Structures are given as structure tokens and as C-alpha cells.
Structure 1
Amino acid sequence: MRKIHDPKALRSLMDEHQLSGIFDEKTEAAMELFAFDKGEMVCSVGDRLEHLFMLVKGKIKIYKVLPNGKAILIRFYNPLSTIGDLEMLGELTVKSSVESVNDTLFIGIKQQALVDTAYNDPAFLRFIIKHLAHKLHTFSNASSLNLLYPVETRFASYLVSITMDENDQTQIEEIKTAKLTEIAEMLGTSYRHLNRVISQFAAAGLVERSRGSLFVKDINQLKKLANGNLYS
């Protein structure tokens, strides 16, 4: 994580995501811009967050590590999304791990600054409630997907979720073969079963294997297989 001291960029991102009317001048003065690299952890289970983070560029992955050491995928976040709101309001430690899928930018506000400036502001509270409600809705969807749908649907959903950017535009996504064990675990299946699904997808022209990597080839057909059930 690194801070970016660029007031013009910060103001531009605030305008892009229509944040200016939500926070008062004192709260805006406390805002900072943070950058995370691809694969970098934003926070991990047990951390105490000092900031409320608002994702304004890139994509992040939310997953939960279970008591047996295995991880399960919860969802992906695109802008505009918040990290630390539940922990802030409930005075809780972090319950899920957050990883930067690609290079990301966050607007961060120290929690103490929010206590001093925004806790009693109706506009800010409506903003937080809206995002908490969205998280509850998507968590319910992800739970149903993990429990009730076959691996083919879960993997198609995973591929669609990582391949669509924040503007719902398709980008060619590459997955290193070395990550498939991790992906299988997060989808609640075995590496062997996931490998069979990948072979089926490759035979159908949905993905392509090449030199230790997996590439998404037919996003539209993958969307049909996902049937509207996405980790996003």
C-alpha cells in the first residue's frame, strides 16, 4: 500500500463517483488516496482497520478463511464499493480477507475523522446504509451459489466476475495454472474436479489453455452458464 499525494486526482475521482455531496468539507479534507498493487492484501482476518476505504478504481476479491484453513470465495467488488464500514460501525475486527485483483485505488478516511465530522450526518449515514444493504444482498446470492449450484456454474460465474471490469466491459483474462488449486478451494471443490470442468470448457471453446495459463475466450457463453449467478 502506498499513499498518493495528488489532490487533483483525488478530486477527479470524487467527482467521477459523485462523492462530493455526501461528505462535508472537514471530512473531504481528511481524505487520502491509496494505491494497492495486483495481488496485494488490502486487509486480512483479525486486522483492525484505521480507515474507511472506498474503492474507486480496479477490482478486489473478498474471501473468508474457514477454521480448517480452507478459503471460500464470497464475491468481487468493483467501484464504488466500501471496505471497513461494518468494522467501523460495529467496532469489529476484519472478518474476511480482501485482496487486490489488479492495480487498485481507494479513497481512505481515518475512522476518527469520520467520528469527528460525519457520524451524525444523514447523507453519510444513508451512503453507508446503502452499501451495507448491497453487501447483505450479494452475500446471500454468493452463499446460495456456493451451496446449491454445480461447479460448472460456479466456475463460469468466477470467470465472468474476474473478466468484466467496473464498466461491465470485457477484458481478456489470464489465469496462471499454478492458481487453480487456490481457485478450486475457494469454489468449494477439488483441483481434479475443477480440472475436468476446465477440460470441458476448453473443448467447448469457452477457454483456452496455453503455456501454463488459462484464457477466457467466450464470455457470452460463460454468462449463459452462470445464468445470472455472479460473484459480484
Structure 2
Amino acid sequence: MEIIKNSLELQKFLDSPQIHQVFPKSYHSQLRLVTYQAGQAICHQEDHLTALSLVVTGKVKIVRKLFNGKDYILDISSSPNLIGDIELLTGQRIVSSVIALEKVWVVQLPLHNRQQLLKDATFLYKVGKGLATSLYLQNIQAASNIGYSVKERLATHILSIENEGKFQLELHLLADSFGTSYRHLLRTIKDFLEEKTIAKEGKNYHILQRKTLEKLRIRP
């Protein structure tokens, strides 16, 4: 974790719409800009919440440690993503750990006056709207995991992350997010390779038949 003290860097983010969607302007003087490297935790399960964190660039994984000691990946999330809203509203300890998968930039609001935030109607509206959006997306994802095949979900994922036809796959993370086994995911990738829908070069893949993927793509 590194706190960025360059005020110009912070101001770039403060001028962006995603900041205004979460933090009212009256709190901007209290915000700080922080970076985390891949593998670092933005927060740990069961710790006390000390700041609200908005991931503005980068990708994170949300992990819940189960009673048997195993880690379960709840989600792989790209920015923007607000961390700590549930804990702020419920007063409980942090529900899940959030780990950076790459370098992430985070705008944080230290919780020096929690009661003031909880009395701020504008702030609560923004947080509530964000929670409602997250719940909506989680419902869609849960329905997709039940109602669509791994092949359809993989095709949809590839089309969402590809850049000029090229992409990489984080297999263990992807299997957890799909709610399927690692072996099943590998078989599905193998099918795409044998059908020449995609091709692999080292750690990278590229799309050969976009139309095939588009036919499998899940429509909202």
C-alpha cells in the first residue's frame, strides 16, 4: 500500500464522474489516493472497517474464508467498485477480504466521523443506489451460473475482455466465478481450441471465429 501525496494525481480522480457518484463534494477534502500492488489486500475479513475504498482503476478479487479454512472467491471485479458500504451500514466487521489482482488505484474516505456519514441523506442515497446496482448484477450472475452452460459463459467472458481479438484467461479465478470445476473449464477451452474458435500462443489466446462466440454470448 502506498499513499499518493501528489495532489494533482488525486484531483484527476476527483474530477471524474465515478467519484461524484459515490462521494458528495463536501467530503472531497477528506479523500486520499492510495495504490495497491498485485497480491496486496485492500481489506481483510474480520478486521474493523477504517475507511471506505473506491477502486477507480484495476481489478480485484473478493474472497471469503470458510469455516473449513478454505478460501472461496465470491467475485472478480473491475473498477469502479466500492468497498466497505455493507460494513458501514450494518456496523459489523469486514465480511470478505479484497485482494488486488494487479496494480489498483483507490480513493479512500477515512472513517473519522462515521455518525456524520450515517446522518447524511445525500451520501446514504448514493451508497444505497450502489448497493442496489450490485445486488442486481449479482442476481444476473447467479441466474447465469444456473441457467447457462459453461461454454456460453466462457464465450461471453472472452468477448468482454478481448482487446483486438487477443485475451488471457485466469483459469482458477474464472472457474470459481463460474461456479464450476477447473477440469470442466479446461474441457470447455479445449473444445473451443479443437473447433478452432480460438487459438493459443504461449499464455495468450486470440479469437479465430468471432461469430461463433457471438452466437453463444449471453444477452442481458
Q: TM-score range by the shorter chain?
A: 0.7 to 0.9
Instruction: Indicate the residue corresponding to 1:95 in structure 2.
Output: 95
Q: 2:53·2:109 contact (CA, 8 Å) conserved in 1?
A: yes
TM-score (norm 1): 0.77
1:124 corresponds to 2:123: yes
Shift of 1:171: 8.1
Q: 1:88·1:111 contact (CA, 8 Å) conserved in 2?
A: no
**1:105 and 1:151 mapped to 2: Cα distance?**
32
**2:151 and 2:63 mapped to 1: Cα distance?**
20
Tell me which amino acid in the other structure corresponds to 2:107.
I
> How has the CA–CA distance of structure 1 residues 103 and 40 changed in structure 2, closer, same or farther, with 3 Å as cutoff?
same
Instruction: Indicate the residue corresponding to 2:72 in structure 1.
Output: 71
Please show how residues 206-225 of structure 1 align to structure 2 within 5 Å: 206-211=197-202, 213-217=203-207, 222=213, 224-225=215-216
Tell me which amino acid in the other structure corresponds to 1:194.
L
Shift of 1:132: 0.8
**2:211 and 2:113 mapped to 1: Cα distance?**
45
The percent of aligned pairs where both chains have the same amino acid is 26
1:8-62 residue CA offsets vs partner (Å, 9 max, x unmatched): 111111111264595254x222211011223433234323221101122223333
**2:131 and 2:39 mapped to 1: Cα distance?**
25
Shift of 1:187: 2.6
**Would you say how many aligned residue pairs link Structure 1 and Structure 2?**
217
**2:173 and 2:211 mapped to 1: Cα distance?**
25
Please show how residues 184-203 of structure 1 align to structure 2 within 5 Å: 184-203=175-194
Shift of 1:151: 1.6
Query: Structure 1 stretches of 5 or more lacking a match?
Result: none
**1:15 and 1:216 mapped to 2: Cα distance?**
36
- What CA RMSD, in Å, does the superposition of the two structures yield over aligned residues? 2.9
1:144-171 residue CA offsets vs partner (Å, 9 max, x unmatched): 222332221233344445x26xxxx768
Q: 1:52·1:111 contact (CA, 8 Å) conserved in 2?
A: yes
